[in-house]
Structure formats: C-alpha cells, structure tokens
Chain A
Amino acid sequence: MADPILELRDVKTHFPVYQGTLFKRQTGAVKAVDGVTLSVGRGEVLGLVGESGCGKSTLARTIMQLVPTTGGTVFLEGKNLTASSAGEVRAMRRDMQMVFQDPFASLNPRMSVYATLAEPLHAHAVCPESEIPARVAELMEVVGLAPRFMQKYPHEFSGGQRQRIAIARALALKPRVIVADEPVSALDVSIQAQILNLLAQLVRQMNLSLIFIAHDLSVVKHISDRIAVMYLGKIVEIGPAIDVIDHARHPYTRALVSAIPTADPDKERNRQRIVLAGDPPSPINPPAGCSFHPRCPHATEVCKQAVPPLVKVDATREVACVRWQEI
C-alpha cells in the first residue's frame, strides 16, 4: 500500500508461562499474536475478526503499545514505535487512541464527563487551559451528546451514551488512528446502529483511520473497507470487506461466515451450514503445521507439515491456506 499510516511487520506478542512455586521457570509461552504483518491506509477502516482467544484484542493492545512486543515492528507515520522510548510513545499516543468494549468499565465512575474529556487535553497540553471548557463542549456535540450534561457522571448515562463519551475521549486529541476493540458488542441492536453510524460519520469527516475489532461479521462487513480474519494469533485471510465475506477463500473464514444466522426465515432454514467441531486449540501449544487443520473439513497430510504462509491470491487478497486453489 502506498503511504500507509500504520504498518505492522511480523509483530509477535508472547506471554510467558511459568511453573513451580519456589523455583519459577518459564515452561512455555502463550503466543497471543504470532507474526502479524499488515498495513492501514489513511482514512481506511480495517475490520479485524476472529473467535475469542484468537489474539485480536492483544493485537490492538500491541498496536497501542499497551503490552510489550516480543518481536517485529509497529510503524506509525513511518516512525518505529517498538524502538521508541516511553516518552516518545506517550507523545505518539496523541495520534493513536483506543475505544474499549465495555463502556461500563472503561469510564472512571468518579469522574464527570467534563473531567473525563478534559484529562487528555490537560495531559498533552494541546490547548490553553481557558479553552478547555469550549473544547469539551465541542467534543460532546461531535458525538451527539448535549453539552449541558457535562457535569454528569457515567452512571447517569445509558450504555450507548457512555460509548459516545468513550469515543469523545478518544477524539479529544484529534488522533489520526483509532483502535476500537469490540465497541458495539455490549450494546443492543438499536443502540449498536447509532454507534456504527457515528463511527462511520467520524471516519468520513475527520479522515480517520479505524481499526475495528468485532466478532460479529455482519457488523464488520458493514463498516469496514478491508477485513482481516485472525485465527490463533495469525492472520489467515485479508482483503476487501465484500470479497472476504461473500467469497471467502480460507476454510476458517467460510465457517465463520456460515455460522452467522441471517434474519430471514426462508433463507436461514435452507442454507448450507458448516458447523466446526470443537473449540480453538490452545495458543500455548498450537498444532503443528496449519493451526486450523484439526477443525478444518478440507485438511490433508500436507496441512500438518508446514505453517502455510499468507500468499497473494489476487491484487488485493491474501490467504494463508495451501489448498486455496483446490477448495
């Protein structure tokens, strides 16, 4: 991609596993993110999907430098974040903000909306103190909240309104990249639609780049330009949103797509379902070869041998399956 705003090269985040009480020794590692390479363009929405435990949240935290990276590099605007000092990373956070899943847990219950939204403005000293109230009011309007609620506390708001506050907080420093980790999963359908519309509108108006993490494929398809599918710490398929969902190449993506129920009784009752057996394997001790092979309906001996690399299947698609041409 020409001039990406965010670039990840072979990023790995492993968490050590210790055993023994007195003489602790490392016996293994949870390979939460295990060699992810991707880039995000300016103003682009990249959807990231996968089952729980596949490493999508850890990837988000790795991008934000909230967890130590084990290997690989993260570039923001061409600057290497993994090699930067803590101070430099803190300064870079202005350009990169996060929205978390649970708006009930991600807002401090003892801070009013004003205090919550003013904090990043104070911390980064982006505007004179006297302008902060006006800036907070402006932020609230941007996300569709009336500024007269400024002195209220999080418990006085509904889930959807709290998520708006969390989005306003992320926007306070005028970032260029937002990482949203399951921002609508905790919300009802009708409220979910409001938040999706808001995010889509903000991306357009402010030319933001958005990494949108969710496990609901229909939501991801709706908002994303491109989609990356993760399985056990690796990207197994990436490409334009419509292609990935409607013409999935990787057997795992196909199974994911087929698992979403459609709200249309006739179609739902007559469609072919691929029901995967079992649960995802442990990321401490992933299966040899393709980590999906024990659950894959198309697996052969070849799949057990080597880890399939992500290969280009056309100009915009990449798939990590050795048998993509046959199946």
Chain B
Amino acid sequence: MALLTVTDLRTHFHTRSGVYRAVDGVSFSVERGETLGIVGESGSGKSVTCYSIMGLIPQPPGRIASGTAIFDGIDLLHCRPAQARAIRGKRVSMIFQDPMTSLNPYMRISEQLIEPLLIHEKVSRAEAMKRALAMLEAVGINDAAKRIHYYPHEFSGGMRQRVMIAMALITQPELLIADEPTTALDVTVQAQILELIRKMQRELGMAVIFITHDLGVVSGLCDRVLVMYAGHIVESGGVRPIFYEPRHPYTRALQRSIPALQQKGAELYTIPGLPPDVSKPLPGCAFAERCEFASDRCRTEPVVLSECSPAHWHACGRVARGEI
C-alpha cells in the first residue's frame, strides 16, 4: 500500500473577487522511499496541494472542498486535530522555499532544532541536544558544537537551508515535503543541498515530494513526476517517460522553452498567452487557450486523465483519441 494517497483534492479560496480553484481535483500517491517531483509554473497549485496535505491552508479564505489524503491509514484532511498533530512534524515534515523567513529570528538554532523532539518524542533536553548536534553535523555544518547556539542571522542562506533540513529530518520522518527548497539559492549551493537531500534519503529511506519549477532538478532527483497546470494534473509518470516521451502539449512546451536544451542563439519556443484565471469556470481543457493543437472540442469537453502506457497518465483529449 502506498504511504500517502491523495484522492480528488480540491482546495478553493473564497475571496471578494470570486472563488479561486487553486487545486481542482488532484489525485496521486507516494510509495515508501520514493521521490515524487511536482512541476508547474507559479500559480499552478503545486504548493497549495502540499500545504493542504500539511493542514497549512488558512481557513478562511481557503476551504478544502473535497478530497482525502490517506497517510498510513489515517485521513489527514478529516482526522481529529490531535491525530494530525501527532503525524505532522513527526512522520511527515516539510521544508520551505525561503530559508530567510522560515526560521524564527528570535530563537537560537538549538531551540528550534530540539523543538520537534521535545514535542513528539518526550525525550530530555540533554538527549534532544545530543541528537540535534548529531543532525547538524550530518547536514554538513562545520563546527556544529559552537554554531548550534547561534541565531539564524549568523548563518548564510545555504546554511539556513541546511538547518531547515536538519529540523525537518530530526524526527526521522517517513515523508519529507520540500517546497522549492533550492529556488532562493545559488546554483553552487543548490548542488550542495540536492546532494544532501539525496544522501539523507539514502540513509533514512524516507519518501520525498519535491516541488519545483526547474525541470533540471527533477530529472536528476525524482523517480516519478507530476506536471500541474491551473490546479490540475496534466501528466504524470516515471521520470524517463516524462522527459523522453512527453505526451501532453504543455509538458512538451515546457521542455521546448528551456534554453539549455535548444540550439544556442535559436529562437526559443514560447507558450503564447498567460495561464487561465482559475476563478472563471473552465468547461474544457485549462491549457486549450495556449495550446497549439487545441480544437473546438478541447474548449468545451472536460478532459480526464488516461493511461497511455503503464503508469504514464496524461490529460489531453486529442492525444487520447490519437489525433496528435
């Protein structure tokens, strides 16, 4: 059985200017020890999906309109708050995009690091400090015994992200959700952090959900990939099929717009237009307005995910009918 199974998740935001369907019918699952990548542009709903699972959506304005997220037999979206608290931060943890704002500037690193242990594991402070120190060393902070008493502002961006990772992994979670953990970092530091996540995953055997808009990061790290667009999953499958045989026009367009994969100096492929306004009803495919293959049927007929080869799903009506 899968570690986490999300079924028909819908997270809507009720605002004065209408209902924004940020996530609209997303289903996926994560196996133990697996790395799942979620890619998509800003506003595609990838972060909201994970925030919903973690119970971090402010309600109101947010509302989880439907769906279940079964983690090891417990529905995280409908269980008692105490049950969810026992899982969150212990068996499922999360790291965020911006290490500058996600650490508490008033608390020493040591206090922040041992907090999950004191809450979840009922260990003594001395024992917790010992484990915090070991964890800080494991994520590659030199001179950890001294630095553990520092405040966040005394650390660089890359080091803060290491501290975040140490904090997330200190309870040895079964699932780590990483929301663009390297987007705010330099490429050289990004390489260090990705290497660290790989190493910790090997050692602890945890599953990882890795959210990013960088297809390059996904290709090296993930086993399976979900491609999201306007609150929907448009394609999902193993990393090789997604990169070598993409089916959905959006996935193909994304790949064609990366400069590194194109002839130098050649005109880059661009996706015309902008992502749709998710507060308006979309009867057909959300990508139809920007799709070079769209037909009239695409704009009116709802699309469903269909399996084109084992475990490779896409949501394109024309591909499913064999028209393109």
**Total cross-chain contacts (CB, 8 A):** 119
Cβ of B41: which chain A residues have Cβ within 8 Å of it? Answer: 188-190
- In the complex, the answer to whether B187 meets A263 with C-beta atoms within 8 Å is no
Cβ of B267: which chain A residues have Cβ within 8 Å of it? Answer: 197, 200
Which of A189, A215, A259 lies in contact with B254, CB distance below 8 A? A189
CB distance from B61 to the nearest CB of A (A): 19
CA distance A259 to B258 in the complex (A): 16
Given A241-B264, A279-B158, residue A260 in contact with residue B219 (CB < 8 A)? no
B interface residues, tally (CB under 8 Å): 45
- In the complex, the answer to whether A263 meets B269 with C-beta atoms within 8 Å is no
- In the complex, the answer to whether B262 meets A222 with C-beta atoms within 8 Å is yes
CA distance A190 to B249 in the complex (A): 13
Cβ of B239: which chain A residues have Cβ within 8 Å of it? Answer: 265
- In the complex, the answer to whether A260 meets B189 with C-beta atoms within 8 Å is no
- In the complex, the answer to whether A264 meets B243 with C-beta atoms within 8 Å is yes
Stretch at the interface among A22-30, A86-94, A267-275: A267-275
Q: Assess whether B261 is interfacial by the CB under 8 Å rule.
A: yes
Q: Assess whether A217 is interfacial by the CB under 8 Å rule.
A: yes
Given A222-B264, A269-B220, residue A275 in contact with residue B191 (CB < 8 A)? yes
CA distance A158 to B273 in the complex (A): 11
Q: Is the interface of A mostly helix, strand, loop or mixed?
A: helix
Cβ of B219: which chain A residues have Cβ within 8 Å of it? Answer: 261-265, 268
- In the complex, the answer to whether B270 meets A190 with C-beta atoms within 8 Å is yes
Cβ of A221: which chain B residues have Cβ within 8 Å of it? Answer: 259-260, 264
- In the complex, the answer to whether A263 meets B192 with C-beta atoms within 8 Å is no
- In the complex, the answer to whether A52 meets B186 with C-beta atoms within 8 Å is yes
The residue in chain A whose Cβ has the minimal distance to the Cβ of B140 is A277
- In the complex, the answer to whether A255 meets B269 with C-beta atoms within 8 Å is no
- In the complex, the answer to whether A222 meets B268 with C-beta atoms within 8 Å is yes
Told that A190-B253, A261-B194 touch, could you supply 17 new A-B pairs with CB distance under 8 A? A52-B157, A188-B42, A189-B254, A190-B257, A192-B257, A215-B186, A218-B258, A219-B259, A222-B259, A223-B259, A259-B190, A260-B187, A261-B216, A261-B217, A263-B215, A263-B219, A276-B188
